[in-house]
Amino acid sequence: MSAKNLDNHNRWRSKTIAFRVSPEEDEQLEIAVRLSGLTKQDYIIRRLLNRDVVVQGNPRVYKALCDQLATVLNELRRIEAGANVSDELLDTINMIAAIMDGMKED
């Protein structure tokens, strides 16, 4: 069992919540977590509580963006004339575009 943690308001995080996802949903979640620069726990909590996920640029986020852009580029090269574009790929492209747009404002 993991140790209890304090949150930003000095409250103990002693409750465990678990849920199941499909392998495709897990991959989408992992991509979003990597691109956010947050821990998976913090990312999920912010999304569940409808709080903004603000990406803080750092080398880890930059590498995740580069890796994900390379993956998207390879997938787009595989696709002929835009046919068979999956919803997951479109979601990833939209997420990367939003992050890059936010980085442009700084």
Highest mean pLDDT: which range of 7-16, 48-57, 77-86: 48-57
Q: What 3-state class would DSSP assign to 5?
A: strand
* pLDDT computed for residue 22 by the predictor: 95
Q: What 3-state class would DSSP assign to 4?
A: coil
- Residue 55's Cα: distance from chain center in Å? 10
As a whole number of angstroms, the distance between CA 88 and CA 15 comes to: 31
As a whole number of angstroms, the distance between CA 71 and CA 31 comes to: 11
pLDDT at 10 over 80: no
Largest CA distance in the chain: 53
Q: What is the CA radius of gyration of the chain?
A: 16
The model's pLDDT over 15-71, given as tens digits with 9 standing for 90+, comes to 888 999 999 999 999 999 998 989 899 999 999 998 888 887 788 888 888 888 888
Residue of 81 and 16 predicted with greater confidence = 16
Residue of 65 and 102 predicted with greater confidence = 65
